[in-house]
Amino acid sequence: MRTDWTRAEIADLFDLPFTELVFRAAEVHRANHAPGEVQLCTLLSIKTGGCPEDCGYCSQSAHAKSGLKAEKLMDVDAVLAAAAEAKAAGSQRFCMGAAWREPKDRDMGKVCAMVAGVKAMGLETCMTLGMLTGDQARALKDAGLDYYNHNIDTSPEHYGDIISTRTFQERLDTLEEVRGRGSASAAAGSSAWAKAATTASASSTRWRPCRAIRKACRSTRWCRSRARCWATCSPASG
Ligand code: SF4
């Protein structure tokens, strides 16, 4: 997997017609996977709500007015019961997410037991727990963690618009720790990095709103309705 994409190369991908992108993606998919198969994954929130981070898009943040109550970390047995149910329903990967800035060391015994128990069922294991130290990344890897999901949100230029309680560099530091702890985790880190680099490039590209929604977004340089714009707008210069 390439991890050395330049911004110019990524911007060129974004300039392609959507159907061309879909075609190329399908070619890569067929070259590496059986075309008629999809992997089923189940995601379980093992610790919900009350996160001290202020990610502007997240209802689990303690800063959000979602009314969500903070819950404690689930018991290992309850998580393993949910994993067994997911496996019986056809899942091949079981992902566990916690609304934390980072796990406390006192939590690591429990989350590692979850990883080991899920792995022992023959499922692929995936976690997202926030930022990790090197020792925590090592403990998870040793417990049998296959993938670590770590979203770096947006480009450095726009980071403060989305989150004020951490820095872009802190996210990169965790990815480096995860990548350095073993090949399977490294693949997850690389994958996250590739996705993030794409986001960074796209976010730093100025998009002109398409005519149909120009009135709605009232912007001539930076469209707030990015998700809708990307399907229909062409990149503006400058
Ligand atoms: S760190 Fe995760 S759980 Fe916490 S507010 Fe951000 S996205 Fe939500």
Q: Measuring from atom 3 of ligand 1, which residue has the nearest CA? A: 99
Alpha-carbon span 157 to 195, nearest angstrom: 17
Q: Measuring from atom 6 of ligand 1, which residue has the nearest CA? A: 55
Tell me the sheet residues that pair with 44.
96
Q: Could you tell me the distance, in angstroms and rounded to a whole number, from the CA of residue 53 to the centre of ligand 1?
A: 6
Considering the domain boundaries, does residue 172 fall inside one? yes
Domain interval for residue 164: 7-233
Considering the domain boundaries, does residue 126 fall inside one? yes
Q: Which atom of ligand 1 is the closest one to the Cα of 151?
A: 7
Q: Could you tell me the distance, in angstroms and rounded to a whole number, from the CA of residue 210 to the centre of ligand 1?
A: 32
33: domain CATH number is 3.20.20.70
pLDDT number for residue 179: 83
pLDDT number for residue 186: 35
Considering the domain boundaries, does residue 1 fall inside one? no
How many domains are contained in the chain? Answer: 1
Considering the domain boundaries, does residue 191 fall inside one? yes
Considering the domain boundaries, does residue 2 fall inside one? no
Q: Which atom of ligand 1 is the closest one to the Cα of 63?
A: 5
> How many helices (H) and strands (E) in the chain?
10, 4
pLDDT number for residue 114: 98
Q: Could you tell me the distance, in angstroms and rounded to a whole number, from the CA of residue 173 to the centre of ligand 1?
A: 17
Considering the domain boundaries, does residue 78 fall inside one? yes
Considering the domain boundaries, does residue 64 fall inside one? yes
Considering the domain boundaries, does residue 102 fall inside one? yes
pLDDT tens-place values along the chain, 238 residues long? 788 999 999 999 989 999 999 999 999 999 999 988 888 999 999 999 999 999 999 999 999 998 899 999 999 999 999 999 999 999 999 999 999 999 999 999 999 999 999 999 999 999 999 999 999 999 999 999 999 999 888 888 999 999 999 999 999 889 888 887 663 443 333 333 334 434 443 333 333 333 333 333 333 333 333 333 333 333 322 2
